[in-house]
Amino acid sequence: MERHLEAFLEMLLAERNAARNTLTAYRSDLEDFARFAAGRGEGLASAGTATCRKYFASLAAAGLSARTAARRLTALRRFYRFLLRERVRADDPTGALDAPKIGRSLPKYLSEAEVDALLAAARARPEAQAPTMVAALEILYATGLRVSELLALPRNALASGAEVLLVRGKGGRERLLPLSAAAREAAAVLVKTRAPGRWLFPGRGEAQPMTRQGFALALKAVALDAGILPARVSPHVLRHSFASHMLARGADLRSLQLLLGHADIATTQIYTHVLEERLQRLVEAHHPLATAHAGADRRRGGC
């Protein structure tokens, strides 16, 4: 089992440049299934369709969400397709399985006023923390970076007042992101207040970047200062806020796809709710019949 699992993870790293968190998630999901299969006397690489079906039935019975079950099914499918390609086995036992139905989940995001409040709270943090949080928030909100991309930025990423940021995202794909003047200024202030080192956002030991967990905790503290429920604020919520506000102000999906680094525009389409709301407002504001109906409604209300 270990041999095939390790070979699969090595392939993801070598061919797809998978992130560490992605590899960890795949390992965890496949090891969970391997334990279930072992209880039925089967191995991970040799498990049959019946075992796969019973596994997902057990997940549903345990109350696991459809989204988590769908993620585990994706892990199994990719693993068995890898075994097919390597001729380890001649079939895919997940081929006949239906993916769990996931309801449409709208991305959670903050209002523009709430983002302003977060930035104001970051500026008011103690002197040792303010430059880091202001720079992080300005860059995240200006670019829509993933938190992993933000924390991996080298110290010289914004050297010489660069107006664009070169980022290596998922799958090793590079993209250029324009930077706001506020983001450039905040980064410059941060660099001046930090001792020389490799990272723009160093961790406690300076040799390593700040951890995702450490940044998330610092962000929750800023949210609390801003009067925003900390549970509503995370680095990914800021990424959603960037995307939602861009669309609300006229950006198109294709441009947003490039900025966010999505390989498939279908991923970007989770933000179409913003476009739908904007179109509805446009119709209500400018369509002659909408105006006429509004006037009629007001007249009826006044009778």
194, 236, 273, 278: the active-site residue:
236
Torsion from C-alpha of 117, 119, 121, 127, nearest 10 degrees: -170
- Residue (of 8, 24, 70, 11) closest to 212 by Cα position: 24
Tell me if residue 271 is catalytic: yes
CA angle 257, 262, 266 (to 5 degrees): 75
Does residue 193 contact residue 206 with C-beta atoms inside 8 Å? Answer: no
Q: Which of 146, 184, 240, 245 is catalytic?
A: 146
176 membership: H or E segment, kind and range: strand 174-178
Catalytic hit among 4, 184, 245, 262: 262
Q: What angle separates helix 181-193 from helix 130-143, to the nearest 10 degrees?
A: 150
User: How far apart are alpha carbons 122 and 116 in whole angstroms?
Assistant: 10
CA dist., res. 300 & res. 35, Å (int): 67
Which of 174, 133, 146 is closest to 239 using CA atoms? 146
Catalytic-role residue among 26, 55, 109, 271: 271
Nearest to 97 by CA among 128, 75, 82: 75
Q: Which of 184, 239, 240, 245 is catalytic?
A: 239
* Catalytic residue status for 262: yes
Tell me, yes or no, if 236 is annotated catalytic: yes
Catalytic residue among 53, 77, 170, 194: 170
Q: Check if the beta carbon of residue 110 is closer than 8 Å to that of residue 118.
A: yes
Say whether 245 is catalytic: no
Does the annotation mark 125 as catalytic? no
Distance (Å, whole) CA 274 – CA 41: 50
Please identify every residue annotated as catalytic. 146, 170, 236, 239, 262, 271
